[in-house]
Amino acid sequence: MAVYIYLVVSAALVLISDIFMSVFREPYSWWLVPLLFVGFFIALVAVHMIFTFAWIMTINTKKPTGKRRAFRKWITVTIDMLMKIVRVSVNTSGTEKVPADRKLLFVCNHQHDLDPIMILSVFPDNEIGFIGKKEIYKTMPLIGKAMHGLGSLPIDRENNREAAKTIIEAARTLSEGKFSVGLFPEGYVSKSCELQPLRNGSLKIAYRAKAPIAVCVINNTRSIPKRMFFRHTEVQFRVIRVMEYEEYADMSTQELGDLIHGEMKKELDEIRGAQKQ
């Protein structure tokens, strides 16, 4: 929506400019008019991003995050704007299976750091906070602040005790209905895009919260940096199914992990098989 608003505003500013510079009545109008239009649009996007960065910088990661609905809405608008500018779209399937009025554990494979952004674009109203590696909060503080503002939690993947604390906190957040939780149980980005073994212990979040699990897969996010601006990139996102607590309560985490891994692999194979045809 923001892109279209800024396009309309840019056109209006060009018309206003004609009052002062007579841009439509000059012999060089053929290049000046589109130049002004593009310039105004870039300026509006730049102001939007400066405001976004300034808002993110006000977030204190040392304080518990609240709902921050206005911030989440602004981030949703910003993501939509940037995806249109870099020519990325998400082809979705099965999203109707996800109830809008409940908090869930979203479980998905992980191909690129852009995966959470794609998922947020698909579910703008589900208030998802992700489990993210703690290194992000140190090496990329701006991203860390934004994640904190969206209800995300850092996890220490190399320290089982600290990781367990994050799992408990995530389960509490989910059970209290504060946020849905986005989880990439592989633990690391798969650079080959092949599904890696799952860290089944992370699924304890669902058990503790007695929450439904949305089993999802995402594909082709690694193509975005190579193609953005110049070529359209379509990301595929599928919700395989939503498992109620009663469906997995009697399973061990190993059994649940094996089941989810199998369903994810099958779905990814189908997506890639369809692309080759």
Q: Kindly state whether residues 35 and 67 are assigned to the same domain.
A: no
Q: Kindly state whether residues 18 and 153 are assigned to the same domain.
A: no
Rounded to whole angstroms, how far apart are CA atoms 209 and 44?
43
CATH number of the domain that 245 lies in? Answer: 3.40.1130.10
User: What's the Cα-to-Cα distance from 63 to each of 69, 208, 251, rounded to whole Å?
Assistant: 17, 24, 36
Q: Kindly state whether residues 234 and 97 are assigned to the same domain.
A: yes
CB contact at 8 A, 86 and 230: no
80 inside domain: yes
Q: Kindly state whether residues 100 and 161 are assigned to the same domain.
A: yes
pLDDT in tens, 14-73: 888 877 777 667 676 777 788 889 999 999 999 999 999 999 999 998 887 777 889 999
42 inside domain: yes
**Containing structural domain, residue 156:** 63-276
Rounded to whole angstroms, how far apart are CA atoms 181 and 164?
15
pLDDT in tens, 237-265: 999 999 999 999 999 999 999 999 999 99
pLDDT in tens, 190-227: 989 899 999 999 999 999 999 999 999 999 999 999 88
Number of domains in the chain: 2
Q: Kindly state whether residues 129 and 249 are assigned to the same domain.
A: yes
58 inside domain: no
Structure tokens that stand for 23 in this block: 């841009």
Among residues 52, 73, 89, the one where a domain terminates is: 52
